[in-house]
Structure 1
Amino acid sequence: MKKTSFLTLLALICSVSFSFITSFSATATLMDKKAKPESKVKITQEKVTLKVAVASNFLATAKALTPAFEEQYKVSVQWINGASGSIYQQIKHGAPYDAFFSADKLRPEKLKASKHLLVNTVKPYTLGQLSLFSAKHPNMTLADIKNHPRNFPRIAIANPETAPYGLAAKAWLSEHGLWQAYKKSLIVGSNVGQTFQQVRTKAVDAGFVSSGQLVAHQLVTVPVPLKNPEQLLQYAGVLTNSKNAETAELLIDYFRTESVQLKLSELGYLPLSQSQLASNEAPENKLVTAEYN
């Protein structure tokens, strides 16, 4: 009887011990899982990529000056170029850009008024220069254009309706009474980038392009004096729907820094005045409103 009781007691102790060990093991496993998330869950921080629309004249310059900004802020900048007027229409129709670097003031101001650009981010970043360029006739001057129009009938300009540099070229031709003489034989490009390629490949006699394009390709500039130089005062702004608005504005401000303005003056552009750099608002830009006919 005593032997039987002893065996029963021993069995009960073993059963309790086994239950305790099993319960402890299960609890430890559960705690371990809570302490160590599953390896399938990975927390990663993706590198921000800014999609920036830029006027064709500024593309090569922008690409040359961007690496320092990308390194400083650990971001990537993707430049998409075109005529300012065309980009303006794209943004009006919802193009997913983060910022817009225009070749004029007019389009950014319109986009600000329609609330497509954040008001406080619209500001000037450089002042462009118009140049005459001829790959066919390297020694061509503005006097040749003015005095011998019949010798150079195929002159190229960017579309004055969409490209500020094309509008500036038309203004200069009109000012010197040459618009009617060249009007019928003009080769009109969709943007100043296309015009530059037409002239460089000698498809035309000469063309009006950006000084910045010529400097970027180590070509000689023939500056065209404009009656109103500020018509090429170039503005930028951050899109209202940008998910990277803060970083996009940093990019605009980067181009407005003293060091970058100095570099721009060496790359075919004119530096902004101190008053323009000190404020988001630059002096009023008297826009050329010549009719497109």
Structure 2
Amino acid sequence: MKRLASLLAILACSGAANAGEVQVAVAANFAGPMEKLAAEFQKDTGHKAVVATGATGKFYAQIRNGAPFEVLLAADDETPARLEKEGQVVAGSRFTYAVGRLVLWSAKDNYVDAAGNVLKTGDFKHLSIANPKTAPYGAAAISTLERLGLRDKLQPRFVQGENIAQAWQFASTGNAELGFVAQSQVWRDGKFTSGSGWIVPASMHDPIRQDAALLNKGGNNPAAQALLQYLRSDKAKALIRTFGYEV
């Protein structure tokens, strides 16, 4: 029994010695899932994911300017592809880790109907969206309003957040009665966590394919490579699905 305990202690010390850190830039919509994934990743591998969240467009500029990120989990597939063309990404490392869904949401119960008609009939003063120039979910919101023929009418009511996290914050605090947010921010295990919402049909905007990429700074970091491998695991995919993403 003592020999077994000693062996386990040696293995634990060996795992800790080999554990590393990876600097990860994570799209704001994926903050919730990544918090849970990072905890499971560390528990299962010993590696620690040091996470920064924000708008994908802002991360693009930061990476171009030498930010120390080693892995990018973007809110689109265009940004990682552009970075690869510009020589910032390890060739062939890109893959889609999630497909996001846009939701029109209100913190008020029974306020948003199942077809989103509240946009036409609701008595609201403010509609929060993420910056469409830097946040793919913001661009999807604009596309949706254009498809509905409501962009010009509702634009004076826009409250614009720098990223989807701020757009959600405006809606969750009631500073905006309605907001276009990521489904992952308001959805768990098949239902809304609070308030009411309309899951925007995917046909109303370009697909929100979210790609991961190994950045050049992480090319020789085993922890960075392990994280990307972990995101492909069945365990990670199952967790991601609970937030309303497709994988």
1-structure distance, mates of 2:219, 2:233: 24
Greater relative contact order, per chain length (Cα 8 Å cut-off, separation 6+): 2
Q: Using the TM superposition, give the Cα deviation of residue 45 of structure 1 relative to its aligned residue in structure 2, in angstroms.
A: 4.2
Runs of 4+ in 1 over 4 A off after TM superposition: 44-47
Moved more, 216-225 or 74-83: 216-225
How do 1:113-152 residues align onto structure 2 when only pairs under 5 Å count? 113-136=85-108, 138-141=110-113, 142-145=116-119, 147-148=120-121, 151-152=123-124
1:52 is the counterpart of 2:24: yes
Q: Which runs of 5+ in 1 are unaligned?
A: 1-43, 272-293
How do 1:138-177 residues align onto structure 2 when only pairs under 5 Å count? 138-141=110-113, 142-145=116-119, 147-148=120-121, 151-177=123-149
How do 1:114-263 residues align onto structure 2 when only pairs under 5 Å count? 114-136=86-108, 138-141=110-113, 142-145=116-119, 147-148=120-121, 151-215=123-187, 218-219=193-194, 221-227=197-203, 231-242=207-218, 244-263=220-239
Q: Secondary structure at the match of 1:222?
A: strand
1-structure distance, mates of 2:217, 2:199: 38
What's the CA shift string for 1:109-134, capped at 9, x where partnerless? 00000011111211110100111111
Q: Using the TM superposition, give the Cα deviation of residue 55 of structure 1 relative to its aligned residue in structure 2, in angstroms.
A: 0.3
Correspondence for 1:275: none
Q: Secondary structure at the match of 2:67?
A: coil
Q: Using the TM superposition, give the Cα deviation of residue 140 of structure 1 relative to its aligned residue in structure 2, in angstroms.
A: 1.6
Moved more, 135-144 or 59-68: 135-144
What's the CA shift string for 1:126-154, capped at 9, x where partnerless? 10011111114642221111x226x2231
Q: Secondary structure at the match of 1:241?
A: helix
Correspondence for 2:12: none
Q: Using the TM superposition, give the Cα deviation of residue 107 of structure 1 relative to its aligned residue in structure 2, in angstroms.
A: 0.4
Correspondence for 1:105: 77
> Do the aligned partners of residues 99 and 46 (structure 1) sit closer, same or farther apart at CA in structure 2, a change above 3 Å counting?
same
Give TM-score scaled by structure 2 length: 0.85
Question: Is the Cα contact below 8 Å between 2:24 and 2:69 reproduced in 1?
Answer: yes
Aligned-pair identity in percent equals 28
1-structure distance, mates of 2:218, 2:106: 40
2-structure distance, mates of 1:137, 1:214: 13
How do 1:34-73 residues align onto structure 2 when only pairs under 5 Å count? 45=17, 47-73=19-45
AA matched with 1:156:
S
Correspondence for 2:59: 87
Question: Is the Cα contact below 8 Å between 1:154 and 1:186 reproduced in 2?
Answer: yes
Q: Secondary structure at the match of 2:125?
A: coil
AA matched with 2:140:
A
2-structure distance, mates of 1:126, 1:243: 22
AA matched with 2:117:
A
The Cα RMSD (Å) is: 2.0
What's the CA shift string for 1:51-70, capped at 9, x where partnerless? 10000000111111222221
* Equivalences, count: 226
Higher fraction of strand:
2
AA matched with 1:208:
F
Q: Using the TM superposition, give the Cα deviation of residue 210 of structure 1 relative to its aligned residue in structure 2, in angstroms.
A: 0.5
1-structure distance, mates of 2:19, 2:225: 17
2-structure distance, mates of 1:230, 1:173: 13
